[in-house]
Amino acid sequence: MTRYMSPESTCAGSGGERHCVDKRKLQVSRAMWALLLLGLTVSSALPVSSEDDNYLNLFLVKVNKRSAIHDLAAEHGFTVRDELEELGYHLLEHKDVSRRSKRSAESHVQRLSNDHRVQFVQQQKLLIREKREILYDKQLEMPERNFDPSEYFRAPTPHLYSRGFSGSEGVTFNDPYYKDQWYCENNGQSGGTKYIDLNIKIAWDQGYTGKGVTVTVLDDGIDHTHPDLKKNYSPFASADMNDKDDKQNDPMPDTRTPGNSHGTRCAGEIAAEANNSVCSVGVAYNAQVGGVRMLDGEVYDSIEAKALNYKNQFIDVMSASWGPRDDGMTMEGPGPATKDALEAGVKKGRNGKGIIYVWATGNGGVHDDDCGCDGYVSSPYSLSVGSITDRGQAPYFDEKCASTLTVVPSGGEIRAGEFEGQPKIKVVTTDINGGCILGFEGTSAAAPLAAGCAALALEANPDLTWRDMQHIVVETAKIPSVDQTWVVNGAGKHVSHTFGFGVMDCGAMVNAALNWQTVPELKIQKSQMYEVNEPIPTRDCITKTVPYVPDGTPIIQLEHVQLYVKLEHTRRGDVQIYLTSPSKTVSEMLSTRKNDNARGGIDFTFMTVHNWGENPSGDWEVKVCDNRKSTSENTGKLEKFQLIFYGTAETMSARSAGNTESHKLPLSAVETIEKKELRKSRNLKLKRNMGDKKKKAYHETEVREEKERDFKDGKDFVDRFLDDKIEDRGFDGEKRQDDDGLYKTVLRKLEDLLDKRDDQDSHYREEKRGRDARQDLLDEIDEILQRN
């Protein structure tokens, strides 16, 4: 049911008891209440605008010796708020610094930086991080509407039979809306093109369902009480980083607020239980799913770093459907701690194999945004995922850039407002309060689907590294539609600024994973820093050609190439940057952006995947342009740039067509390749999943180690008696092999104890809602005070 409200009215309550009143009539009384509360000394807790007041009273510090941190903090008037132990950072708090301020506390920063024990210090700033969902097809000018499932368009049955659809074979599901999950098995039921899907059914039919793999959603929490999530929910892969008073570390969101449904929706896409007659089927419906609640409160560098590095020996895949604003005027990347966390996650996570970080590219296409301006998407350590419609084309909100690795079918309109009648089904998934929706879309919906596919590949081969996974995606992605953006790079791989290497193929990923040989060691080589300091001509370009000079053993085959650029310009949105490889592959590192009027220039690192498999030997061309179509008399100066090459010194001949000159694909060739890849994909014959115990050993061992760690930390999952008993057993590497009996006993007792906690959890969640409601009231009071 749709409820439209006047902007001058507000409502409270839930269920049937929902009362709406006129805000204007309450304004005076609320202001009086605000003054009364101020008299009760709560003013220090009132939040203010995050855009105006960015600086927090928190300071990220790295010291020479961990043991010195408490003495250091005390000497300078700080207290230790938190520790990012694996990254070597501490978070300090100073009581004399305003909780939020427009100005930095430069004197305190300077005092710490002057201390010989301090390696690094940075005052934390409040970050704006947006969830990458589309609330409805015409953007945000109108209230979000939740449609009844019966209102969605579905193709008539005769239409399906005319397309050769005669019902599903293999595994079947009784979940009521599985038949609407066109992105899993597309027979034209949404009105789209047959076979524009993840080709996942062939993997399910052979028993690959994500068993033994853990995926965590970094978001606003997940409603793990949902009947479609309860079975696969993992408390050990979950945390609440927004509520410091949450002793149970429960990622349960405030379910009174519809905006807190994002993480729950992402989790359902990944691991909604199958055949329980509820809602939908997750891509990896036997995987374990966790949630880190980190977007439902203040977000700053150390929060992001802590989330990305959370339990990195236990979690296999992390899904992130958020980032800096997709407004076409933001250029921002991760902070220093978050950069370190991403690097640590791929180098140390999963016993050195690396966490798979799956990241949504963004929905800023309607604002002429470029996903290359997002430093999370353009990190070599993230697997960036865009979106396509049920017809295999780019939706209107899609962002184009050289760092997109792949796309996933998640629905949407090709042109905004294209469907004026019945709404189209996008992604079917779980919603808060036991709900089920059929219209989740955007790259927010794409990334979790890709994370589920990664889980299936890891079940097939748990030894895959983070780079193996990216290689598998590159090698198995298909052209989804005939489009003019496709080129073939110097290694013979088709690639596009719109689609990356193509649409993800889960079945082909599992097939490739089964016999995959680990890629050779990664080499990272940097060019010198080229000092230029030459003007960028108005409505023209400056071009610099530099050779690849290896630092040691030459890289033979590339993966990622980064370009660091520092320049001045009077209008950042008119700057274009191109990188051309020795194979003549052209990557548009930065496109023009009509909304970006920033005058501060650029100091940023861009990334391209378009040189994947190429040999870097030869001359590289960097071209920086002022928009030729601009009417502004812009001035600018290219100060300096540097190239960073990621690749291998060994040739993976079986995975490369050698080094040739890049060329654009004519539409006829694109169509031929599309048909050939589709035919090959649909004729795959996967090896049956026999449940190889050797492959599961890694996950079971990690579960045991994680239980031990939780016991030692005094978590509430089990009592101290069990803790002591397990600690006495030692848990050394060889002994774990013989402790299956104790392990099963522990798990049984854990299940019993967790069941007994259900009533306590319910009471706790009510307390948590109370705290959230109190904060909501303070927010409203502050807003009134700001207006008055």
CA pair distance 769, 254, nearest whole angstrom? 6
One of 219, 374, 398, 596 is an active-site residue; which one? Answer: 219
Single-letter amino acid, residue 763:
H
Q: Is 787 exposed, middle or buried (0-12, 13-18, 19+ CB in 10 A)?
A: exposed
Cα separation values, 265 from 144, 217, 478, 629, Å: 16, 10, 27, 42
DSSP helix/strand/coil, 210: coil
Q: How many CB atoms lie within 10 A of CB 148?
A: 9
Distance of alpha carbon 416 from the chain centroid: 25
Any catalytic annotation for residue 159? Answer: no
Please give the Cα distance from 85 to 69 (Å, whole number).
12
Instruction: Annotate 33-59 with DSSP letters as a single string.
Output: HHHHHHHTT-GGG----TTT--EEEEE
- Give the single-character DSSP code of 482: -
- 525 phi/psi in degrees, rounded to 5: -130, 135
φ, ψ (nearest 5 deg) of residue 755? -60, -40
Within 8 A by CB and 6+ apart from 151, the residues are 422, 423
How far is 593 from 325, CA to CA, in rounded Å? 14
Torsion of the alpha carbons at 537, 540, 544 and 545, rounded to the nearest 10:
-160
- Cα 124 to chain centroid distance, Å, stands at 22
Report the alpha-carbon distance of residue 406 to residue 491 in Å, rounded: 17
Cβ 371 vs Cβ 384: under 8 Å: yes
At position 120, the amino acid (one-letter code) is: F
Residues 577 and 587: their CA atoms lie apart, in Å, by 9
The token pair at 442 is 């955007």
Instruction: Give the largest Cα separation in the chain, rounded.
Output: 78
What are the C-alpha distances in Å from 342 to residues 151, 346, 356, 467? 43, 6, 10, 13
Q: Residue 308 — φ and ψ, nearest 5°?
A: -70, -20
Rounded-to-integer distance, Cα 296 and Cα 303, Å = 12
> Which residues have CB under 8 Å from 288's CB, separation 6+?
213, 214, 215, 232, 233, 234, 237, 271
- Give φ, ψ of 86 to 5 degrees: -65, -25
Helix (H/G/I), strand (E/B), else coil: 701? helix
- Beta-bridge partner residues of 495: 487
The Cα 247–Cα 164 span in angstroms is 56
- Does the annotation mark 115 as catalytic? no
Catalytic residue among 444, 496, 591, 656: 444
The DSSP symbol for 240 reads E
Examine the residue annotation and report whether 340 is marked as an active-site residue of this protein. no
Question: What is the full DSSP assignment across 610-671?
Answer: TTTT----SEEEEEEEE-TT--S---EEEEEEEEEEEEESS--GGG-------EEPPHHHHH
| Backbone dihedral angles phi then psi of residue 572, each to the nearest 5 degrees | -60, -35
Q: Which of 90, 262, 569, 610 is catalytic?
A: 262
Q: Among all residues, which ones are annotated catalytic?
A: 219, 262, 444
